């Protein structure tokens, strides 16, 4: 069969040769797509920044196979049967938040129907039921992450609160002027702004790991950045903007070598990677429930026991104390000393149900399914002229996130047109404004996949993008 050739416009060629930090993730995707870096050829227009690339005819493209029974999975997510603008919902905003299976919805509803009471504070039957469910939820979620001692899991409202807890309870009490905090330019604002606040209060200095032309951490500078002055390293496990999977275990090992505390932002890895948290070698790991089929308003902070013991209480009040006098108080044992007030009981119950569900489906199978969708999406989207996809080329180095720009169409306009077609994506800076500046873009559009997404939905995304391109006269 004859290959069809298309011209890659000059701006895209500039991206691929380092003019901006973006790259099409094509290496090793599928044989139907010729790898761009190996197969790019100068075009005939005499412009050294203009290239052409080769894609097999559309008849060669086939939807990827999956080990998941996605049709059956979709049956337990009620919202996926919704219509948007009269069209079937195609939900591709999973990096922002995921949909909930009936197992989670029912667990929360049943808690309020049969067990609604406060925990740890009563001897009546409903309180006992609520306490058993709440404490049992902690055990289940801890086990999901490979944590043997559930007392090492502190409930939070989510990743943002977990990071702020660490910034306040560890950062303000352990850091001094001249100490250094090491972050990366990939960080979500939630893993940047709290440390900016700590640096302003303590006089500590912020330092940053840069990225390479594919949006991967440039670890060639790590030894220079890690010194005896480095007291804290806080790195995202998976970039919410690019999908880059960072080698946090390696970074944790290097951080320990200089005596630094290591925090892993697991907001994007907890839902998508089969993470055994203690094996990462970090001191702390934070995550959110709503990104992993659980409810909003619940998440967790895991810490090694000795690391958690070093934290000052974040909030004061009920349930975090053993004994209170007018002038002083004795604090409770872990994890309760870091959990003041009435907790999100139903949220914990719902999150436990979510971990049960994800375990039953199979986390390795979910990862494989997402990777196959990612490959297919990049393959299909790469057919669209003027399309730029950002992030690592090697799919083993990224999660199911496709961040992209299309010609000069503003990402918000793209998202609006896609919404009219029933396709939900995210547009903006994705709470990573410094990263966007580093990439040389103001914002991007982002599609992100999960266990219930299908190749047909990828096709719907591509069709909607083609329509947007036509509407804008390209």
**What gap in Å lies between CA 280 and CA 278, rounded to an integer?**
5
**What gap in Å lies between CA 206 and CA 178, rounded to an integer?**
10
Beta strand ranges found along 178-227 (DSSP E): 180-184, 205-209
Contact 166, 286 (CB under 8 A): yes
**What gap in Å lies between CA 179 and CA 172, rounded to an integer?**
12
Size of the chain, expressed as the number of residues it contains: 474
**What gap in Å lies between CA 308 and CA 282, rounded to an integer?**
12
**What gap in Å lies between CA 57 and CA 401, rounded to an integer?**
25
For residue 100, which phi and psi values (nearest 5 degrees)? -115, 130
Which residues, listed in sequence order, are joined to residue 238 by a DSSP beta bridge?
Answer: 245
Closest CA to 199 of 222, 180, 183, 184: 180
Instruction: State both tokens at 329.
Output: 């108080």
Q: Characterise 231 by phi-psi region: left (phi > 0), alpha (psi -120 to 50), beta (else).
A: alpha
Contact 391, 243 (CB under 8 A): yes
Catalytic pick among 52, 431, 459, 463: 431
The three-state DSSP-derived secondary structure of 243-270 is CEECCHHHHHHHHHHCCCEEEEECCCCC
Q: Is 293 an active-site residue?
A: no
* Residues acting as catalytic residues: 431
């Amino acid at each position: 069969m004859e290959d069809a050739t298309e011209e890659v416009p000059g701006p895209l060629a500039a991206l691929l040769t380092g003019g901006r930090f973006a790259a099409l993730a094509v290496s090793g995707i599928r044989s139907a797509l010729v790898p761009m870096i190996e197969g790019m050829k100068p075009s005939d227009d005499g412009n050294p920044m203009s290239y052409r690339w080769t894609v097999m005819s559309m008849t060669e493209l086939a939807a990827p196979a999956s080990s998941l029974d996605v049709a059956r999975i979709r049956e337990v997510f009620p919202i996926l049967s919704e219509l948007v603008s009269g069209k079937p919902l195609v939900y591709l905003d999973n990096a922002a938040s995921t949909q909930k299976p009936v197992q989670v919805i029912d667990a929360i509803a049943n808690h309020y129907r049969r067990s609604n009471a406060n925990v740890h504070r009563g001897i009546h039957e409903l309180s006992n039921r609520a306490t058993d469910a709440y404490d049992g939820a902690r055990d289940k979620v801890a086990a999901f992450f490979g944590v043997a001692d559930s007392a090492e899991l502190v409930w939070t409202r989510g990743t943002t609160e977990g990071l702020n807890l660490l910034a306040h309870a560890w950062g303000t009490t352990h850091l001094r002027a001249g100490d250094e905090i090491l972050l990366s330019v990939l960080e979500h604002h939630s893993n940047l702004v709290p440390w900016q606040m700590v640096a302003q209060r303590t006089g500590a200095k912020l330092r940053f790991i840069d990225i390479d032309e594919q949006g991967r951490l440039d670890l060639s500078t790590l030894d220079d950045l890690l010194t005896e002055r480095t007291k804290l390293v806080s790195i995202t496990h998976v970039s919410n903007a690019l999908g880059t999977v960072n080698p946090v275990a390696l970074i944790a090992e290097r951080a320990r070598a200089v005596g630094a505390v290591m925090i892993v932002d697991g907001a994007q890895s907890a839902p998508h990677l089969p993470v055994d948290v203690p094996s990462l070698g970090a001191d702390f790991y934070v995550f959110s429930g709503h990104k992993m089929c659980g409810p909003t308003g619940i998440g967790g902070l895991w810490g090694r026991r000795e690391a958690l013991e070093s934290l000052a209480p974040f909030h004061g009040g009920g349930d975090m104390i053993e004994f209170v006098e007018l002038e002083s108080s004795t604090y409770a044992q872990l994890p309760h000393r870091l959990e003041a007030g009435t907790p999100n009981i139903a949220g914990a119950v719902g999150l436990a149900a979510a971990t049960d569900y994800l375990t039953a489906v199979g986390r390795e199978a979910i990862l494989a399914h997402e990777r196959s969708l990612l490959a297919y999406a990049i393959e299909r989207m790469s057919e669209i002229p003027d399309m730029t996809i950002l992030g690592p080329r090697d799919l083993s180095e990224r999660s199911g996130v496709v961040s992209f720009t299309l010609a000069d169409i503003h990402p918000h306009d793209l998202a609006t047109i896609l919404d009219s077609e029933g396709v939900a994506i995210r547009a903006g800076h994705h709470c990573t404004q410094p990263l966007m500046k580093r990439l040389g873009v103001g914002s991007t559009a982002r599609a992100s996949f999960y266990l219930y997404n299908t190749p047909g939905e990828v096709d719907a995304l591509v069709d909607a993008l083609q329509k947007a391109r036509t509407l804008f006269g390209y």
